[in-house]
Amino acid sequence: MNVCYVHDFCLYRDEKGRIYTAVGLPEKYFDRFFNFGCTNVSLITRNRKENKTSIRLLGFTKINTSKINLPVPINSYMTLFSPTSIFKIIRTIKRSDLLVINFPSLIGLLLCFLNIFIKKKYILEVAADGDQFSSKKGGLLITLLFKMSFNFFVRKSSGAIYVSNFLRNKYPHSEGVISSNVYIDKVHYPVAHNQSLQVKKSINILFAGGVNKRKGISTLLESIKQLVNNGNNKIMLNIAGGHFDSDYEATVKNMELNDNIKFHGLLDKVELIELYRNADIYVQPSIAEGIPRAAIEAMSFGLPVIATSLPGFEEILPRECLVKTGSFNEIVIMIEKVINDAPFRNKLSFTNSKRAEDFLLPILDKKRSDFYNKILGRK
């Protein structure tokens, strides 16, 4: 059983052709195919050649299995339009037993159009809404293309796997299943507390993800400033992540918050787990969001999570911990409530850890395996 899997994530190849990936598309991700009998995955996605040292400095690790291959070198999106690339893509699709397309993705959109002529049976992994490219260069045109074609390609597919109920309702298919791309390995159940967080020497707030406007970083920094102004000097905000779109460290310095905010940069899994373990509250004030990986990870550690009223959060979090997008005042009120109200904090912690169970990897893998077998006509 050969699967052709289409994605947008950029992988790397070293001098010997070995493939390297990162947290955005970990090697474990491909178990979803191997668990239902797939023996080979031909991955059509962006990939670049670099020396091994440079690749590792970027935080990428080598894929150990030989069952994953990159049949088409794609250094940039423009490479897709070369005759050689198109020939290799068509050949790879025709040789596969099943075509699975992560959508919306730019490569996925191109291959959906190409597949109109190839006529290969395919499954769509509906991972986000069609507007996720709107803030990028040329985003308005790309968003328009997705809006015009999204429902069409869902209907033409043999079935769709959705990461959320919101997406399933918006882009329905009679053969559809909800199975998140975000998974956890374990749920760490919390212990009930009968005192407020004020008894602690330091109240640790955590944010993990891209340090940029889309994730609401400016709103988060304003929230911390207001909390400190309100006399909450014990606050320590730990920010884990990269992809800065502004000099937020300079902003923090200008706001005189160096004692209350620490930037950790990109962390490995062990380092990030340590931050989750030591956190008291997790905050994610995103302006736009799909399925919030970091928020689900925080939930799995039994943390109370404060987030914005976006579909991705509304499906997984209690409504009483959601705030209006861009409102630092509402975030401040919610943080202070979690700090001072121990029963409320306990309620959020236990509710979140219970909900996190739905994202355990064995549960999600079984959903996908059952779905693939059904589409392929297996029992």
Q: Write the pLDDT tens digit of every residue in 179-222.
A: 988 889 999 999 999 999 999 999 999 999 999 998 999 999 99
Q: Which strands form 47-49's sheet, in the order they lie side by side?
A: 47-49, 11-13, 19-21, 61-62
CA dihedral angle for residue 15, residue 19, residue 23, residue 26, rounded to 10 degrees: -170
* Helix or strand holding residue 338 (H, E): helix 328-340
CA dihedral angle for residue 224, residue 228, residue 234, residue 235, rounded to 10 degrees: 0
Residue 323 β-bridge partners: 308
Residue 369's contacts (CB-CB under 8 Å, 6 or more residues apart) are 32, 35, 36
Q: Which residue, 312, 305, 310, 377, is CA-closest to 347?
A: 305
The mean predicted confidence, pLDDT, of the chain is 93
d(CA 110, CA 161) in angstroms, rounded, equals 19
Q: Write the pLDDT tens digit of every residue in 58-110.
A: 889 999 999 999 999 999 999 999 999 999 999 999 999 999 999 999 999 99
- Residue 140's pLDDT band, with cuts at 50, 70 and 90, is confident
First to last CA, the chain: 16
Residue 197 near residue 338 (C-beta atoms within 8 A): yes
Query: Would you give the distance in Å from CA 162 to the centre of its chain?
Result: 13
d(CA 34, CA 7) in angstroms, rounded, equals 17
Domain architecture of the chain: domains with CATH: 2-183+360-375 (3.40.50.2000), 197-359 (3.40.50.2000)
d(CA 212, CA 241) in angstroms, rounded, equals 10
- Residue 133's pLDDT band, with cuts at 50, 70 and 90, is confident
